[in-house]
Copies of this chain bind each other. A is one copy, B any other.
Amino acid sequence: MDKLREGGFLISKIKQVSARIFDKKLKEYEITDLNTAQGRIIFSLWQQDHVPIKDLVSRTALSKTSLTSMLDRLVQMDYITRKPDEADKRKTVIALTEKSKQLKKRYEAVSLDMLAVFYEGLTEKQIDDFETTLNHILNNLNTYEEGYK
């Protein structure tokens, strides 16, 4: 592949605009104290709770240093708790609080609303193909980054 593509540039732009819109929608749905980035962390905890920070690194694709300070804030706002793992004291276990569990339905409503904008005018088949390709690319990148270490 030697043609100069612009996929990465497009992804950056989409991410940027999406985050701005999603932030506004969160406010509209009266989720006033969470932003898109924090939502991403909570979202991945809904899928699996009580996980060490290392797992959150791979599940959110954020660096562990980025996560540390974001988790600080989420603890402060009572969305999550931090507890040392008794079995392996190097680890810190992150868990959801009642407050964040109760948020789930409303957050999913925002997501659906957002997805409607995102995928407007595309067929189910196109969306399926698109998400398959996204997963493929993410896998490429993860493999590559893993090899760096």
Which residues of chain A have a CB within 8 Å of any CB of chain B? 1-2, 4-22, 24, 40, 43, 60-63, 108, 111-112, 114-122, 124, 126-127, 129-131, 133-138, 140-142, 144-145, 148
Contact A22–B7 (Cβ < 8 Å): no
Q: Which residue of B lies closest to A61 (CB)?
A: B13
**Interface contact B111-A4, CB-CB below 8 Å:** yes
Which B residue's beta carbon lies closest to that of A62?
A: B16
Bound-complex Cα distance A112 to B2 (A): 7
Structural contact, A12 and B13, CB atoms closer than 8 A = no
Chain B proximity of A3: nearest CB distance (Å): 8
A144 touches B131 (CB 8 A): no
Q: Given that A4-B112, A142-B17 are contacting pairs, would A129 and B129 also be in contact in the complex, using a CB cutoff of 8 Å? A: yes
Give bound CA distance, A126 to B22, whole Å.
28
A-B contact pairs, 15 of them (CB 8 A): A1-B115, A6-B131, A7-B115, A8-B115, A8-B118, A9-B43, A11-B14, A11-B18, A12-B61, A18-B141, A21-B144, A118-B137, A118-B141, A122-B133, A126-B133
Task: Please state if A17 and B124 are interface contacts (CB–CB under 8 Å).
Answer: no
Q: Which of A15, A142, A148 has the most CB of B within 10 A?
A: A15
